[in-house]
């Protein structure tokens, strides 16, 4: 008799993942099976692909898709990762400029409030991204995933844009003064 595989819906992204007793993150709302897949993707990004620029979108998409529950750390995490998605996907920032802007914006974290997550946090999940066969496909999937997560949070885009304006400077990494 073959062992029975138990699956569950991730508490964050709702992907169907293996039910495990593994570790999770303190304030990112992910099931252990989903967290394990994400950590595998990060390991590939760090190791095989030597930290590609798209890594920042991987982290931002995952964190925004797994908002957790209302707490100071969850609020700050979701805010900063959504701001980063906004800066890169709509603001035209390169990854370095977005990271520097996030550092400045964090000085205003007292403005951040809990955003009620949308019913759907996007159609794509880590399950889609882990299927990438090479770095080019990985980058394309991460871009699509991040775009879908950003779009899912559209009811809160005005708030996120206001938060971004608190500390965002011109896109110095993109040739703007």
pLDDT at 144 exceeding the cut of 90 = yes
Over residues 146-166, mean pLDDT = 96
Residue 71 CB coordination number (10 Å): 12
DSSP H/E element including 8: strand 7-9
What SS3 class is residue 76? Answer: helix
Residue 6 scores a pLDDT above 50: yes
Instruction: Give the phi and the psi of residue 16 in degrees, each rounded to 5.
Output: -85, 110
Segment among 4-8, 64-68, 171-175 with least mean pLDDT: 171-175
Q: What is the pLDDT of residues 36-82, one digit of tens each?
A: 999 999 999 999 988 899 999 999 999 999 999 999 999 999 999 99
Sheet strands (E) in the chain? 7-9, 16-18
pLDDT at 102: 87
pLDDT at 177: 28
pLDDT at 175: 39
What are the tokens at 20? Answer: 């495990």
Please tell me the predicted confidence (pLDDT) of residue 83: 97
pLDDT more than 70, % of the chain:
92
Are 22 and 36 in contact by the 8 Å Cβ rule? The answer is yes
Q: In the predicted model, what is the mean pLDDT of the chain?
A: 92
- Give phi and psi for 7, each to the nearest 5: -125, 165
């Amino acid at each position: 008799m073959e062992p029975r595989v138990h699956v569950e819906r991730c508490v964050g992204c709702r992907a169907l993942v293996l039910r495990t007793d593994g570790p999770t993150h303190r304030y990112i709302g992910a099931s252990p099976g989903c967290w394990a897949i994400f950590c595998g993707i990060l390991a590939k990004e760090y190791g095989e692909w030597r930290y590609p620029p798209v890594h920042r979108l991987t982290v931002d998409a995952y964190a925004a898709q797994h908002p957790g529950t209302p707490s100071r750390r969850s609020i700050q995490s979701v805010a900063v990762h959504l701001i980063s998605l906004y800066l890169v996907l709509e603001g035209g920032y390169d990854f370095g400029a977005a990271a520097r802007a996030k550092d400045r914006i964090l000085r205003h974290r007292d403005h951040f409030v809990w955003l009620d997550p949308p019913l759907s946090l996007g159609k794509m999940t880590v399950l889609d991204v882990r299927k990438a066969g090479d770095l080019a496909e990985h980058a394309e999937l991460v871009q699509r995933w991040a775009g879908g997560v950003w779009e899912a949070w559209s009811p809160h885009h005005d708030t996120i844009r206001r938060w971004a304006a608190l500390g965002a400077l011109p896109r110095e990494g993109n040739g703007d003064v």
